[in-house]
A = this chain, B = another copy of it.
Amino acid sequence: MSVRVAIAGASGYTGFELVRLLCAHPSALISGITSRQQKGHRLDDHYPALKGHCDLVFTDTDPEKLASSADLVFTALPHEAAMDIVPGLLQLGVKVVDLSADYRLRSPEVYGQWYSVHKTPELLDEAVYGLPELHRDRIREARLVANPGCYPTSVILAAAPLLAKGLIDPATIIADSKSGVSGAGRGVSLGVHFCEVNESFKAYKVAEHRHTPEIEQELSAMAGASVVINFTPHLVPMSRGILSTVYASLRKGVSAGEVDGAFRDFYAGEPFVRLSAPGGLPSSLQVRGSNYCDLGWKVDQRTGRVIVVSVIDNLTRGASGQAVCNMNIMCGFAENAGLDFAPWQP
Contacts and interface: CB of A to CB of B under 8 A. Distances in A.
A241 B282 contact: no
A164 interface: no
Contact of A200 (B238, B281, B289): B238
Given A228-B302, A300-B230, A206 B281 contact: yes
A298 B200 contact: no
Given A200-B284, A228-B303, A237-B194, A49 B245 contact: no
B309 A203 contact: yes
Contacts of A239: 194-195, 198-199, 346
* Of listed A13, A232, A283, A303, residue having the most chain B CB within 10 A: A283
A92 interface: no
A57 B315 CA distance: 32
Interface string A182-194: 1000101110111
A207 B345 contact: no
Given A243-B203, A307-B206, A48 B178 contact: no
A199 B285 contact: yes
B202 A282 contact: yes
Interface in A24-58: 24, 45, 47-54
Given A230-B247, A232-B245, A48 B192 contact: no
B206 A309 contact: yes
10 contacts: A23-B341, A48-B274, A49-B287, A49-B343, A50-B342, A53-B342, A196-B285, A200-B241, A207-B302, A237-B238
The 9 closest A-B pairs by CB, nearest first: A200-B285, A202-B283, A195-B346, A207-B300, A176-B176, A49-B343, A49-B286, A181-B194, A201-B284
